[in-house]
Amino acid sequence: MATLEKIRSKAGLLVLVVGVALFAFIIGDFLNSGSTYFRQSQETIAEIDGEVIKIQDFQNRIDEMTEMYKMQTGSSSLPEEYQIQIRQSVFDGMVQDIVLNEATAALGMTVSPEELFDMVQGENISPMIQQMQMFVNPQTGAFDKTVLLNFLKTIDDDNIASYPADQQAQLLQARQFWMFWEKNIKRQRLEQKYTTLLSKAISANKLDAKDAFDGSVESADIVYAMQPYASIPDSTIQVSKSDIEKLYNQRKELFKQKESKVIKYIAVDIRPSQDDYDKASSEIEALKGELASTTNVADLVAENSEIPYLDAFFSEKALDPEMKQFVKTAAVGDIYGPVFENDKHRLFKLVDKTVAPDSIKVSHIMLANTGDDAAVQAKADSLLNVLKKGGDFAALAKEFSVDQAAANGGELGWFTEATALRGVNEDFKKAVFSTPVNNYAIVKSLYGTHIIKVTDKTANIDKYKVADIDMTVSPSTKTYGNIYNELNQFISKNQNVDKLEEAAKEAGYNVLSNVTVTANDQMVGSIKNSRPVIRWAFQNSKGDISEIFECDDKFVIAAVQGTLPEGYRSVESATPMLKSELIAQKKGEKIAQELAAKNLTSVDAYAQAMNASADSVKFVSFSTRRIAGIGVEPKLNAMVSLAQVDQLSAPIAGNNGVYVFKVIEKNKDAKEFNEANEIQALDAANAYRFGYQAIQSLINKAEVIDNRIRFY
């Protein structure tokens, strides 16, 4: 009983302890799930109509497109500006995919497996595939379905793992290439079906056809006079606040804006010092002596030049103008330069010259490197014996060659010495250019063992082997440090945004103020690789001053002046533009009224009243986009198309001034009206326009939360 009494006496405390324990359990579970939520939120790069795009998925698409670009261009790496374009292209594509899939799913519209098969290897091959150079027959210059099917058969081989490592890599890369384009073909087909459905709902009628025809075949020659709006000072025209507000409300959608940051920044060029220039000049002069005496040109160029040395002869047409001029008169061993231009020293030496064909046409049979060199060599020798006895090279290539050229009888096309050297190796180049036409040679490379056949040669021409030393003068470590330290000292002493411009002026720096950037902008002004500055601005607040950013060849310091919220620009911020438009409008009304009151009867009389000269222009029609010597003046286009010959117009207020004109002659093409053709042309033009507008409308209406600024 005593024990129970004690428990009763402590009941309040027990309830509190249990309550705290339960709360800890619940809040702990919440925090754990919350951490997952926040982690997922941090991984979200965008959300389109509630569909989340994760950073990893986005990056995978970027990597995929980057690899495709490298494959198509032969580049091993891409500059930052290309990466920026790829990231934007991927983002646009993913947004479009989501909104298009939503729209087509609502209609029950899909691309079936059978439809996709027909587009990639059936009877209706996609134009996207037909335009790929790798599937073009070199003899006919046209798409070859057989080449495509052979390619698909090769990359669909289940035994890829049994191939040598280098061939495995090539085949897997080719498979990746194909899957990328197959996805794009499917998406393009779905978009085409959707936009075709919409465009078919709107068709031109016979009135549209006649109007379009008349606008294209009927024109007029006119004489005119124009009084520009600049003839009246802006200060003489009064524009009220209510006028500006009224025009703002009419145009409000044009002033829709994303969240923006207003910044000011200092950009300092990272340039070589005079000491850097003097040192580079001494170095290039010393190299001139070495280049004249060395017997190892390749090593000297490799150690000192930005341009790699190619041990190959080049035709005159392959040389740049400066080098071409040099080789025309130089003897072997002669030196040209050094010359200095655009921060670069250049130095040439004519190493050798010869008379030989510029290009050789080659076919080959490539045998894979299996690791058993003796067996591969024996097979190559055996095939060579068959060829020398009259064997069919193309047939043997199709049977034994392991590369993609096999489907085309082993034909590789034309090689210069440079392309043979860059594309394969030195031994391949030597074999190709030393083998007579219709003869054979065996040569090894990293790709395999090649049995080559020279099938044609160009005529003999003069060719030159040139050593080219190019040295750009760059800022030394010392110069770089001096520029950085001076700027760092300046900014450490000046942390007040409002006083930054005055301090910068005293220090010899230039400040650009009131620069507006959005989260999607990639550059501040024209400064390359300045995206980090924009990211910093969106992570900081008014009055903050950044650290020093290195952006390509500049150091940049930025300061946040303020934030423009998402929504609509204020009337105040739009006032200068609106006021300018209203001033022009009121000038037009004033000039037109004053001229009309004069009741003049000729263009020359109006020209005199305008203090201008009469001029003429031919072939003005309703559809003329830009009138020669005048510019874009749609009101003038419309009035000319309605006017009669010798009819003097009333004063017309246009975009740039007030016009008076008279039609002196009407022109009409001999082309006959064909209603069906005109309707077909209008429908085709409308289909293209509607297609673009339909997809863009879906994107504009979508709820897009863009978080890319967090990651890039």
Helices and strands (H and E) in the chain: how many: 24, 21
- Virtual torsion, Cα 689, 694, 696, 700, nearest 10 deg: 140
Contact 418, 468 (CB under 8 A): no
- Return averaged pLDDT per consecutive 10 residues of the chain, 712 residues in all: 40 41 43 47 89 94 88 78 90 94 94 93 91 77 85 79 74 86 92 88 88 86 97 94 95 90 96 95 93 90 88 90 90 92 92 92 86 86 90 88 82 88 85 91 86 92 92 95 96 92 93 94 93 96 96 96 91 92 96 96 96 95 90 95 95 97 92 88 83 88 92 90
Residues in the chain: 712
Q: In what order do the strands lie in the sheet with 704-706?
A: 51-54, 44-48, 704-706
Please name every residue paired with 517 in a beta bridge, in sequence order, or none if there are none: 261
Please give the pLDDT value at position 274: 96
Contact 637, 624 (CB under 8 A): yes
Contact 165, 96 (CB under 8 A): no
3-state DSSP call for residue 303? helix
Alpha helices in 597-650 (DSSP H): 603-609, 634-642
The Cα 423–Cα 539 span in angstroms is 47
Please give the pLDDT value at position 598: 95
Taking the domains of the chain in order of start, what are their residue ranges? 2-45, 51-200, 217-227+572-668, 259-271+476-565, 274-356, 359-457
Q: In what order do the strands lie in the sheet with 335-341?
A: 314-315, 460-472, 344-357, 335-341
492 alpha-carbon distance from chain centroid: 39
134 alpha-carbon distance from chain centroid: 23
pTM over 0.85? The answer is no
The Cα 281–Cα 340 span in angstroms is 9
259-271+476-565 shares its CATH topology with 359-457 = yes
- State whether CATH 3.10.50.40 applies to domain 359-457: yes
Q: Which CATH class is domain 259-271+476-565?
A: alpha beta
Please give the pLDDT value at position 138: 65
DSSP state of 225: E
